[in-house]
Chains A and B, each alone.
Chain A
Amino acid sequence: MLLVCFGGGLGAVARYLLSGVINKKSHPWGTFVVNVLGCIVFGICIKLFLLNYISSRLKIFLLSGFCGGFTTFSTFSSETAHLLLGDKLDIKTGLQYLIASILIGLLGLMIGYFLPNVFS
């Protein structure tokens, strides 16, 4: 549990710093970058866990803690809601953001998942 807390806290701080820097230049793509990066790391870690390279404790720290805290679904939904329905109405960007997040997030996860295969 402490591992989850610590990992989650670290992930949240990393997300706050990184998405803050990118969102300043191009909103809302900071969250997108964070989510895709988190998915890649998640893919690598879960594969390494399945291959028995990392212990279940480290898995809990990295996956449930760090990756979970680093990526966010709430900010993603809220930004999409504001773009599609709300005050910042911009349906084109909203749809681009929505579809890109889902597809590239999934792609990132697969890349991460199959990456350890290349080296083993």
Chain B
Amino acid sequence: MLNLIFVFIGGALGSLVRYIVSNNVILPFGTLFVNIFGCFVLGILSVFVLKRAKYIPQKLRLGLTSGFCGGVTTFSTFSYEVFVYIQKTLYIEALLYVCVSLILGILFVYFGIELCRLCLKLHLDNKRTKLRQEFLEGE
């Protein structure tokens, strides 16, 4: 039950962010932008599984991944926008939009993962050096 509450809150916040961003006139590709943003965040969060799960509480992680990332990104609006391009017989634009969304989406998941791994590694290296120094000073 608590899991569902976390997902609900995450989904509500994510949807709100998506609604505000995609209604923003400054960004012509609102849906594209939120989708890629969500992919990047999900990539970062997906590092915290298995051995690394201890860094983020499991319920919070669920709220952020299934809730927030799922809520901030959307597949239905994406499909609808493709459909609108097709209706206007803008076939090349439709294809381009699909390809750009897919490639950037996958790429940003990957960026998120790599960035997070790098940060974690730096963090752990730092910690290790500090511990070693303390140990040596203790001697």
Q: Residues on A close to B: CB < 8 A?
A: 1, 4-13, 15-17, 35, 38-39, 41-43, 46, 60, 63-65, 67-78, 80-81, 84-86, 98, 101-102, 105-106, 108-110, 113
Contact = CB atoms under 8 A, between A and B. Distances in A.
B interface residue count range (under 10 / 10 to 19 / 20 to 34 / 35 or more): 35 or more
A8 B42 contact: no
Given A6-B12, A9-B15, A11-B71, A74 B42 contact: yes
A36 to B, nearest CB: 9
Contacts of B108: 77
A110 B94 CA distance: 15
Interface in B63-77: 65-67, 69-77
Given A8-B16, A71-B74, A71-B75, A85 B8 contact: no
Per DSSP, are chain B's interface residues mostly helix, strand or loop, or mixed? helix
B7 to A, nearest CB: 5
A75 B15 contact: no
Interface of B: 3-4, 7-16, 18-19, 22, 35, 38-39, 41-43, 46, 65-67, 69-80, 82-83, 98, 101-102, 105-106, 108-110, 113
Contact of A12 (B12, B39, B41, B80): B12
16 contacts: A8-B13, A9-B11, A10-B8, A13-B8, A39-B75, A42-B77, A42-B79, A67-B77, A68-B18, A69-B70, A73-B73, A73-B105, A77-B108, A80-B106, A85-B106, A105-B76
